[in-house]
Amino acid sequence: MYIHINTNYIGLLFRVLPFLLLYLLVSIFSINNLKGQTYEYIKHHVDQIAYYDCHISFNETPGFIVGIIHQDSSYILPYGELEQGSSEYITDSTLFELGGASKVITALLCESLQQENIIHFDDPLSNYLENPTNQQDDPSIQMLLSHQGGYPRLPSNFSAKELDASNPYEYYTKKDLWKYYASLQILYPLMEYEYSNTAYALLELALEQKMKQPFPYILNEKLVQKYGLKDTVIQPRPSQSIAPAYNSFGQTVNHWNSPAFNAAVGIKSSLRDLMKLLRLQVQTNTFDNTHQKKTVTHIDKNSYAALGWHIMTNKKKSDLVLHSGATEGHTVFIGFIKETQSAVVILSNSKNGTNELGYLLLQSLNSSFKKGKKRKNLK
């Protein structure tokens, strides 16, 4: 069931805190067992975290939408406005740019392709690209997906094409990426974590070469249509509504265009599509391979990179599986807890973001099921 909640009295002040630091906090944020709870109960606790812990202010973020999943219940909470000065709410079908969280969608697509025996994660990248370079190191598809392929965050020839800082990927083409790949020297040791948009851009090339189709077509045919999604696209259709984008100063900015980096940062989606994919993650084994420990790269003591996802661990609690993303005017947080069949999605129409709110909501779900603590009412 979907319960829509309209609330318009709190705003968001974006304060980026490192995920690991937050994960070490004592569990003072608690949403009690959600099963059977009313939307007023859920709204009350989300408001507490948003207002008292994240210091919300609509002066900085015009609006955002929160989605919470627990077992067979779904809660959708729109906050603020779709556009500054309007009275229109964000809906669960409103499109947002996913930024770096596009990698989650790409990883799920790749898992779907592997299940159909179209690609294989153990295959080297050069198996899929025409005219492969004679590199000594030839990372596998799995290495690309888990940021351990030795590639840098961005190609070495990227800065020469970064002509607009507010839309940094717009002028970098696939021809530029091919030039980079043809002269590529692996910069980092294989099997070591290095967050890489380059790896996902090369993966996009590999899929296109393998399937002889453009990436948007592959995404639509092998993920969107296959799993009954409605809104996940590269370029919005005329019938689709994408949220206006606001930078950190509250100014309207253009949406990103990323012709060579769609798999890395260029996918758009909606709350309802992301919640549908998260239900598949928490309630089925369809995409379990994307966050299994056997496929993770160790980042540090308590965090790992899986296939598209990042995992936060704690000896006393369940793992948090999550990813965030940002463009010049949108931010996204997606995360889930497999053991409790719980998930959180937050989509914002501002660069100021909602990562802290998303993380604390997910952490609160984790705490409630492990310790059953109730949070004292704030007045």
* pLDDT tier at 44, thresholds 50, 70, 90: confident
Identify the pLDDT of residue 56: 64
Identify the pLDDT of residue 264: 98
Identify the pLDDT of residue 14: 34
Region 163-175: mean pLDDT is 96
Average pLDDT, the chain: 85
The domains of the chain are located at 1-65+76-92+323-334+346-379, 105-290
Check if CATH label 3.40.50.720 holds for domain 105-290: no
Give the lowest-confidence range in 71-80, 102-111, 166-175, 279-288: 71-80
Identify the pLDDT of residue 175: 96
* pLDDT tier at 114, thresholds 50, 70, 90: very high
Identify the pLDDT of residue 365: 77
Identify the pLDDT of residue 21: 38
Backbone angles phi, psi at 293, to 5 degrees: -60, -30
Identify the pLDDT of residue 364: 82
How far is 164 from 170, CA to CA, in rounded Å?
8
Question: pTM (2 decimals)?
Answer: 0.87
- Tell whether the model's pLDDT for residue 154 goes beyond 70: yes
The residue behind tokens 């997906």 is 145
List the one residue out of 259, 270, 254, 306 whose CA is nearest residue 108: 306
State the sign of the Cα–Cα–Cα–Cα dihedral 362, 333, 219, 93: positive
- Tell whether the model's pLDDT for residue 289 goes beyond 70: yes
- Tell whether the model's pLDDT for residue 39 goes beyond 90: no
Identify the pLDDT of residue 153: 96
- Tell whether the model's pLDDT for residue 6 goes beyond 70: no
- Tell whether the model's pLDDT for residue 13 goes beyond 50: no
Tokens standing for residue 152 = 């840098």
Identify the pLDDT of residue 24: 37
Q: Where does residue 344 fall: left (phi above 0), alpha (psi -120 to 50 degrees), or beta otherwise?
A: beta
Identify the pLDDT of residue 179: 92
For residue 269, list its beta bridge partners: 96
Region 114-133: mean pLDDT is 89
Give the lowest-confidence range in 33-42, 80-89, 116-125, 196-205: 33-42
* pLDDT tier at 187, thresholds 50, 70, 90: confident
Q: What is the 3-state secondary structure (H, E, C) of the chain?
A: CEEECCECCCCCCCCCCCHHHHHCCCCCCCCCCCCCCCHHHHHHHHHHHHHHHCCCCCCCCCEEEEEEEECCEEEEEEEECCCCCCCCCCCCCCEEECHHHHHHHHHHHHHHHHHCCCCCCCCEHHHCCCCCCCCCCCCEHHHHHCCCCCCCCCCCCCHHHCCCCCCCCCCCCHHHHHHHHHCCCCCCCCCCCCCCHHHHHHHHHHHHHHHCCCHHHHHHHHHHCCCCCCCCECCCCCCCCECCEECCCCCEECCCCCCCCHHHHCCEECHHHHHHHHHHHHHCCCCHHHHCHHHCEEEECCEEECCCCEEEEECCEEEEEEEEEECCCCEEEEEEECCCCEEEEEEECECCCCHHHHHHHHHHHHHHHHHCCCCCCCC
